[in-house]
Structure 1
Amino acid sequence: MAENLAKPPFPFTGPGLLIARSRITSPELSEDVFERWYNEVHIPDVLAVGTISAAYRFRNSNPAAEVPYLAVYTVPEFSKVDMGKLGALPMAHEMLPGGGTITDFVDIDSQFYKLTQEEAQKLSQDAYFPVLLSAAMEPAAGGEADFDAWYREEHLDQMAKEPGHKRARRYRLAFQNTPAGMSGADAPSWLTLYEFDESGKEKLGTEVKPLDPMTPWTKRMLETAQRVEAAIYYRIF
């Protein structure tokens, strides 16, 4: 959870996500202590606010990833998000080096996303499968209608045929908070999270690859997109 979150309430209702990407920046903080702080201290603090109903953590399958950690928090209703309480969560803890603040040792980049489309709606909103493919895109200027149609009429159906596929959920960026030095400024407006069972690890590998064969529509979307960010994550919490 990043500091200095926006205080005004969101001007819309409905479910969505809070996404937090992070990386350790100081050699003083070990990976083990970071994991313990996140899982044993921070996530319970976040859930205690009452705005978030569930929290899961993932790690990028690519060991060379610049920002390896991903936390996904379920937001059941945006109108009930208490930004004041979230922004006031304690960031210092005795578990951290010198009892310091987590932002002294870690960069955390956070975004709120509103749910726009979901497959397999009978599955729990608060449950995640072990393999996550994250695909964020900024379509061509003026091309959002075509982009949305591509997803709804072609691409989601194609992805659903992939081995191990369980669900896809699409989101629209609502708000982001990016600390200095992080590469997440101007995050893509659209995010799709594809979930897979354990077999997805073998099928997907560690790098996102285009579907083969690539349809003309998919080719056009990728070639005209202003930005495409995709990664594969494995659940760790």
Structure 2
Amino acid sequence: MVRRVVPRGLLLAFSTPPDGQDEAFNAWYGDEHAPARLTVPGILNARRYVTAADEEPRYMALYDLASPDTLKGPEYRRLYEQQSEREKAMMAAIPLLDRRVLRLLLDCEPWTEDAPYQMTVSLQPPDGGEDDLVAWYRQEHMPMLLAVPGWRRVRLFEQVDGTGPRFTAVHELESPAVFETAEYRAAISTPWRNRIIDSVSRRERRIFKLLQTFPRPAWGQP
């Protein structure tokens, strides 16, 4: 029997391919790049998304990790040492590649590994404001969002490698219709929420729809 490994990390990769090369980019990512990463023990799954708002970056890939340290192991490093010529050429041509390694801080009941929509919200609090941000998510923001019809899961992460804001929340949604509800408007209208948002020095909000899934590797077998 396969024992489920609880993800404690996330590899988040935003990308935009060269102009006119979306077809080649998607073929490379789907039949070479992502499958190669799923050979690494501790990389639990892979999903690809495309922007739902016609914005940059155009694509997002999510890889749940047994631990952020998964990406420090020899199996992962070997992927870079053994790159194909196709992979080298595509990686060199990509004008936007934003790769972030995240550590899980807060989670709730899992829904599905293939959420039809995902929203990422990344925030950089002021020095000394980190605990207040995490407390806001734990005590108020996550419970209020999970009361929104169609808002199925929220996870909060802290960045351990990358150039993004320190904290990133990943939201799993049934559809963008969640943003039209009274419950959502209430969740983004509290004094605590306004104080947090007014204090951050950097904020990113991105919405993506599911593009591609991959077979799950059987890591975690006893």
Q: Tell me if both proteins adopt one fold, taking TM over 0.5 as the criterion.
A: yes
Structure 1 segment 103-114 matched on structure 2, within 5 A = 103-106=91-94, 107-114=96-103
Task: Give the deviation of 1:231 after TM superposition.
Answer: 1.1
Structure 1 segment 140-179 matched on structure 2, within 5 A = 140-176=126-162
5+ residue gaps, structure 2, are 1-6, 213-222
Q: CA RMSD in A?
A: 2.1
Q: Is 1:88 the counterpart of 2:88 in the alignment?
A: no
Matches of 1:218 and 1:150, distance apart in 2: 7
Structure 1 segment 1-237 matched on structure 2, within 5 A = 15-27=8-20, 30-63=21-54, 65-81=55-71, 82=73, 83-88=76-81, 90=83, 92-93=85-86, 101-106=89-94, 107-121=96-110, 123=111, 127-176=113-162, 186-197=163-174, 200-204=175-179, 211-212=185-186, 214-237=189-212
Does the 8 Å CA contact 2:115/2:173 hold for their aligned counterparts?
A: yes
5+ residue gaps, structure 1, are 1-13, 177-185
Matches of 2:69 and 2:177, distance apart in 1: 40
Normalised to the residue count of structure 1, the TM-score between the two structures is 0.76
Q: Determine what percentage of the aligned residue pairs are the same residue.
A: 24
Normalised to the residue count of structure 2, the TM-score between the two structures is 0.81
Does the 8 Å CA contact 2:10/2:68 hold for their aligned counterparts?
A: no
Q: Deviations over 1:116-158 (max 9, x none)?
A: 110115x56xx13111111110112211111111111100011
Greater percentage in helix: 2
Does the 8 Å CA contact 2:67/2:103 hold for their aligned counterparts?
A: no
Does the 8 Å CA contact 1:45/1:89 hold for their aligned counterparts?
A: no
Letter of the 1:73 counterpart: Y
Task: Give the deviation of 1:26 after TM superposition.
Answer: 4.4
- Local SS of the residue matching 1:49: coil
Matches of 1:169 and 1:22, distance apart in 2: 22
Does the 8 Å CA contact 2:151/2:178 hold for their aligned counterparts?
A: no
- Local SS of the residue matching 2:192: helix
Matches of 1:219 and 1:74, distance apart in 2: 31
The number of equivalent residue pairs is 198
